Amino acid sequence: MTTITRRPLRRLLQLDQPVQLLTPAEAEIERDRHLRWNFLVNSFDVIFFMGGLSLISSTTILPLFISKLTSSTLPLALMAMLAQGGFMLPQLLTANIIERLNRKKPIVVNIGFLTERLPAILFILAPLTAYRSPTLAVVLLLLLYSWFTFGGGMVAAAWQDMIARCFPVTQRGRFFGGTMFIGTLLGVGAASVAGRVLDRVAFPLNFIYLFSVAGIAITVSWAFLALTREPVVQANVPRRTTRQYLAELPKVVQTDHNFRSFLVARFVLALAEMASGFLTVAAIQMWAISDGMVATFTTASLVGQTAGSLLMGFLADRRGHRLSLEIAT
């Protein structure tokens, strides 16, 4: 990495800014002192993010947009692959760097804005381009979605670490369950409005409206995320090169039974979820359903998530997260 690129990166990660490192005991006191504040701002982050995400759903809204521009199923296959692998793979590649940093918030907020939030804001470029070149609009959407999913994966591990620092383990289920419940409720409302927009507004103006609102909601969620008060502790992790880190991964998979089982479960679940986008387009072609009905499908899926999130979140705090995962899957 050259000096030209290293300096901006260090500035984004705030590596040169003085920060008070806390002992584990001090970090717990700091965490409890800011618990209500962090619960509030991070709840609004998740709520607005979920609301915006419902308007750019990779299983309903985006496949519908693609079906308006091309009859090829290749873009749908690429989107399904990106929706699963695009988020998971970067976490594997960035974990070695993230675990050595004392502060996780600069990655989540500063790097995350460039890698995850900015492409969501730029989604509007795809329907704007559809006026003149449908092919270019499809390519642009896939590029932006790749940027969005890979970018989200790049900061996901840091976000999870930051949340773990801000909330005790006995309240994380309540946090995720409650915020997902409210967020999906907002998504239900947004999807209902989206159905009317898709039916009553001509293409591609209807998608311009939807993607604009999605970008605004995701930007608002980032603003709340930036208000997080992270307890900063010393990261006591030995320094390893990327080559050493990657060389250790096969051994971890071989020796850690729980991790291996988790990877297999995630892989099988990802295969099942890859078909969702094709179901949307198949329903449009076979039953000639309206565009608004596609948004209704989004509403139905979010209603299920709403009930499940609230129930599983409270169950996780009382009986453990494993039981919640077993019931949900």
Q: Could you tell me if residue 3 is inside a domain? A: no
Count of structural domains, the chain:
1
Q: Could you tell me if residue 316 is inside a domain? A: yes
CA distance 280 to 261: 31
Residue ranges of E strands in the chain: none
Residue 184 belongs to domain with CATH number: 1.20.1250.20
Task: List alpha helices for 110-235, DSSP H.
Answer: 112, 118-121, 125-130, 134-166, 169-200, 205-225
**Would you say the C-alpha torsion 239, 242, 248, 249 has a positive or negative sign?**
positive
Q: Residues 6 or more apart from 207 whose CB is under 8 A from it? A: 65, 126, 127, 130
Pull the structure tokens for residue 148: 């969005």
Q: Could you tell me if residue 4 is inside a domain? A: no
Q: Could you tell me if residue 45 is inside a domain? A: yes
C-alpha triplet 197, 201, 202: angle, nearest 5°: 135
For residue 22, give the DSSP letter. B
Question: What φ, ψ does residue 322 adopt, rounded to 5°?
Answer: -65, -45
Q: Could you tell me if residue 5 is inside a domain? A: no
> Which domain range does residue 274 map to?
22-233+244-328
Q: Could you tell me if residue 13 is inside a domain? A: no
Torsion of CA 140, 154, 295, 136, to 10 degrees: 0
One digit per residue, the tens of pLDDT, for the chain of length 329 reads 555 566 676 677 666 676 777 888 888 999 999 999 999 999 999 989 988 998 998 888 998 899 899 988 888 888 888 887 778 888 888 888 888 888 999 999 999 999 999 999 999 999 999 989 999 999 999 999 999 999 999 999 999 999 999 999 888 878 887 787 787 778 778 888 888 899 899 999 999 999 999 999 999 999 999 999 999 888 777 778 778 888 888 887 788 888 787 777 777 776 666 666 666 777 777 777 777 777 777 777 766 666 666 666 666 667 666 666 666 66
CA distance 251 to 238: 18
CA distance 189 to 310: 17
